[in-house]
Every structure is written in C-alpha cells, then in structure tokens.
C-alpha cells in the first residue's frame, strides 16, 4: 500500500482538494473493526506531515487495539451541509481508506501519550455535486486503477 505522498505525487490536484476538505475542520470520524468483526466509529484528529497521513490513539483506547489487531480503517473528513439555493458551491466531503501502520517511538523526541499510526492508502474518495446541483459526483482513486469520476442522478 502506498503512503499519502505517493497519492499526492500521482494526483496532486485531487490530493490538494482532499486535503482542503480534511483541513476544513478539526474533528474527523474513524471506522475500525472490533474483535468480533463489527464496525466501530470514533472521533479522531489527524494531520498531514512529512508526506504521511498520521493519526493517534490514546493509551488503552479501543480504536488502537482494533488497529493493532486489524489495521484496516476508513476515515471520514469533516462535513458540512450544502447551502439551500447554492448547492452547486458545496465543496463536498472526503474519505480515505487504508491500513494503519504503527509508528515506532522516536528516540529523544517528545511523544504524546498513546500510539501514532501512519496511513497506507488504499482508496481516496470525494463526493460532491455538479455545478448545477443536479447530479452527485463521486471521484475516487486507488493505486491499482488511478483516478475515476462517476456522475449519478
């Protein structure tokens, strides 16, 4: 799986848009898998740093245990509702899926308590409306097929 920087290099314009959507608010939603395979969602913060998408888990948190057991995740960026009468200006919402890789503690550095993960990215999606707000536009990227755009009524 590629790190965030591989996606940025492959699709710089799309990656910049995804990043703007993620940076539009502090709180995101992370989906992980519980030990029994059922989904768990958790509020989370993340950052783009040094070509990586990073996020953490507090000591003893279930999301960290979930990711150590099964590293698959889905991360949903902050959302906003389209403004009535100006729906075509809505920037949309972004989602990133992949595998969480634990980061080893850096010697001598100030580490926050808990665990840090970097994302190996398997899919990036932006869902928005066309300029006329008559169709749903889904843009998605995977390492295997690259960028794809689909419009739906």
**Segment 21-77, tens digit of pLDDT:** 999 999 999 999 999 999 999 999 999 999 999 999 998 899 999 999 999 999 999
30 to each of 61, 76, 85, how far by Cα in Å? Answer: 13, 6, 31
Each residue of 97-151: pLDDT tens digit?
A: 999 999 976 555 565 678 999 999 999 999 999 989 999 999 999 999 999 999 9
- Kindly tell me the sign of the dihedral angle through the C-alpha atoms of 23, 1, 152, 41: negative
Tokens of 111: 């580490």
Helix, strand and coil content of the chain, in percent to the nearest 5, comes to: 20, 45, 35
CATH class of the domain at 4-105+112-152: mainly beta
Kindly report the pTM of this predicted structure.
0.91
């Amino acid at each position: 799986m590629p790190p965030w920087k591989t996606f940025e290099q492959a699709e710089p314009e799309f990656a910049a848009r995804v990043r703007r959507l993620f940076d539009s608010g502090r709180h995101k939603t992370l989906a992980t898998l519980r030990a029994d395979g059922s989904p768990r969602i958790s509020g989370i913060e993340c950052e783009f740093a040094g070509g990586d998408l990073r996020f953490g888990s507090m000591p003893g948190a279930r999301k960290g245990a979930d990711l150590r057991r099964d590293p698959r995740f889905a991360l949903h960026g902050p959302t906003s509702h389209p403004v009535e009468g100006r729906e075509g200006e809505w920037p949309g919402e972004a989602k990133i899926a992949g595998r969480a890789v634990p980061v080893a503690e850096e010697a001598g550095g100030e580490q926050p308590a808990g665990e840090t993960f970097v994302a190996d990215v398997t899919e990036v999606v932006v869902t928005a409306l066309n300029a006329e707000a008559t169709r749903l536009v889904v843009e998605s990227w995977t390492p295997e097929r690259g960028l794809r755009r689909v419009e739906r009524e």
